[in-house]
Amino acid sequence: MKPNFFLFKKMFLSILFVAFFFNSALAQKDIKMTFGKNGIITYDAKQKTIAVSQSGKTIFSDAKASVIVNGKAISVSDYSEAVLSKETINDNLGKGIKYTLTYTDKNNPTLIQNFYTYNNQSYFITQIEILGAGQQIATNYISPLDLGKISFDKIENLQTVFVPYDNDAFISYNSKKLDAISNNTSAEVGILFNNTSRNGFIVGSLEHTVWKSAVKTTNKKPTALFSAWAGYSEKEVTRDSIAHGIIKGNKVLSPKFFVGYYSDWRNGMEDYAKTNRIVEKPYVFEWDKPTPVGWNSWGVLMEKINFENTTKVADFFAKEIPQFRVGNTAYIDLDSFWDNMVKGGFTGDFSKLKEFADYCKSKGLEPGAYWAPFTDWGWKDGPNRKAEGSDYTFGEMWTKTGNTYFDFDGARAIDPTHPGTLKRVDYVINKLKACGFKMIKIDFLGHAAAESTSFYDKNVTTGMQAYKVGMEHLVNALDGQMLIYAAISPNMATSRYAHVRRIACDAWKTIEHTQYTLNSVNYGWWQTYSYDYIDADHVVFADVTEGENRARLISAVITGTLITGDDYSKDGIWSVRAKEWLQNKELLKIVSHGVAFRPVEGNTGKHTTEVFEQKIGNDWYIAVLNYGSTPKNYSLPLERLGIKNGNYKLQNLFTNQNTNVKNNINVSLGSKDAHLYKIINR
Residue 190 belongs to domain with CATH number: 2.70.98.10
Question: Mean pLDDT across the stretch 263-287?
Answer: 98
**13 in a structural domain:** no
The reported pLDDT for the residue numbered 359 is 98
CATH number at residue 629: 2.60.40.1180
The reported pLDDT for the residue numbered 586 is 96
**76 in a structural domain:** yes
Question: Mean pLDDT across the stretch 473-498?
Answer: 98
The reported pLDDT for the residue numbered 591 is 98
Beta bridge partners of 86: 99
Domain boundary among 238, 260, 279: 279
Distance, first Cα to last Cα, the chain: 101
Q: Mean pLDDT in the chain?
A: 95
Residue type, 654: F
Across 449-497, where does the E strand assignment appear?
483-486
Distance CA 373, CA 169 (A): 19
**Is pLDDT at 83 greater than 50 in this prediction?**
yes
Residue type, 17: F
Q: How many helical (H) and strand (E) elements, i.e. helices and strands, does the chain have?
A: 11, 43
The reported pLDDT for the residue numbered 87 is 98
Question: Mean pLDDT across the stretch 502-527?
Answer: 97
- For residue 89, CA distances in Å to 54, 86, 117, 118, 626 come to 22, 10, 9, 8, 50
The reported pLDDT for the residue numbered 134 is 78
Contact call for residues 438 and 367 (beta carbons, < 8 A): yes
**62 in a structural domain:** yes
Closest C-alpha among 186, 187, 198, 207 to residue 254: 207
Check residue 673 and report its DSSP letter.
E
Residue type, 145: L
Domain boundary among 252, 279, 306: 279
**Is pLDDT at 272 greater than 60 in this prediction?**
yes
CB within 8 Å of 385: residues ≥ 6 apart? 378, 393, 394, 395
Distance CA 398, CA 173 (A): 31
**580 in a structural domain:** no
Residues 6-33 have pLDDT tens digits of: 444 444 444 444 333 333 333 558 999 9
**Is pLDDT at 550 greater than 80 in this prediction?**
yes
Check residue 656 and report its DSSP letter.
-
H or E, element range at 634 = strand 632-637
The reported pLDDT for the residue numbered 28 is 59
Question: Mean pLDDT across the stretch 139-147?
Answer: 98
Domain ranges, residue 627? 611-681
Phi, psi for 24 (deg, rounded to 5): -65, -45
Tell me the three state secondary structure of residue 271. Answer: helix
CB within 8 Å of 426: residues ≥ 6 apart? 389, 477
Distance CA 238, CA 74 (A): 26
**328 in a structural domain:** no
Judged on CB neighbours under 10 Å (0-12, 13-18, 19+), 595 is middle
**Is pLDDT at 605 greater than 90 in this prediction?**
yes
**Is pLDDT at 682 greater than 80 in this prediction?**
no
> Count of domains in the chain?
2
Domain boundary among 279, 298, 331: 279
Residues 97-127 have pLDDT tens digits of: 999 999 999 999 999 999 999 999 999 999 9
Question: Mean pLDDT across the stretch 445-467?
Answer: 98
Percent of the chain exceeding pLDDT 90 equals 94
**Is pLDDT at 575 greater than 60 in this prediction?**
yes
H or E, element range at 130 = strand 123-131
Tell me the three state secondary structure of residue 672. Answer: coil
**232 in a structural domain:** yes
Tell me the three state secondary structure of residue 274. Answer: helix
Residues 195-238 have pLDDT tens digits of: 999 999 999 999 999 999 999 999 999 999 999 999 999 999 99
**Is pLDDT at 493 greater than 80 in this prediction?**
yes
**107 in a structural domain:** yes
The reported pLDDT for the residue numbered 9 is 46
**Is pLDDT at 262 greater than 70 in this prediction?**
yes
Distance CA 158, CA 181 (A): 11
The reported pLDDT for the residue numbered 681 is 85
Please report which confidence band the pLDDT of residue 378 belongs to, taking 50, 70 and 90 as the band edges.
very high
Please report which confidence band the pLDDT of residue 240 belongs to, taking 50, 70 and 90 as the band edges.
very high
**161 in a structural domain:** yes
The reported pLDDT for the residue numbered 17 is 42
Helices (H), 377-462: 394-397, 419-435
